[in-house]
């Protein structure tokens, strides 16, 4: 297979695994949308945008 296709598959599988882990632990996943917005996605389907002011560097 093509290395790019392999990488895309691995990225997708990693995201799927993150969703499963979040569901099992009652948490959420964080990712960047195609529009460049960083969001939290909860298991129930709620998607909450994260504002710049919400970032902490502790």
Q: What is the pLDDT of residues 3-47, one digit of tens each?
A: 999 999 999 999 999 999 999 999 999 999 999 999 999 999 999
Phi and psi angles of residue 31, each rounded to the nearest 5 degrees, phi first = -155, 170
Q: 30 vs 18, 19, 39, 42, 44, CA distance in Å?
A: 9, 10, 6, 9, 14
Task: Please name every residue paired with 47 in a beta bridge, in sequence order, or none if there are none.
Answer: 41
Token pair recorded at residue 46: 């709620």
State the pTM of this model. Answer: 0.71
Are 28 and 40 in contact, with CB atoms under 8 Å apart?
A: yes
């Amino acid at each position: 297979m093509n290395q790019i296709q392999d990488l895309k598959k691995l990225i997708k599988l990693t995201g799927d695994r993150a969703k499963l882990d979040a569901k099992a632990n009652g948490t959420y996943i964080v990712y960047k949308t195609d529009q460049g917005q960083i969001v939290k996605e909860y298991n129930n389907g709620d998607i909450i945008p994260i504002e710049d002011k919400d970032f902490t560097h502790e």
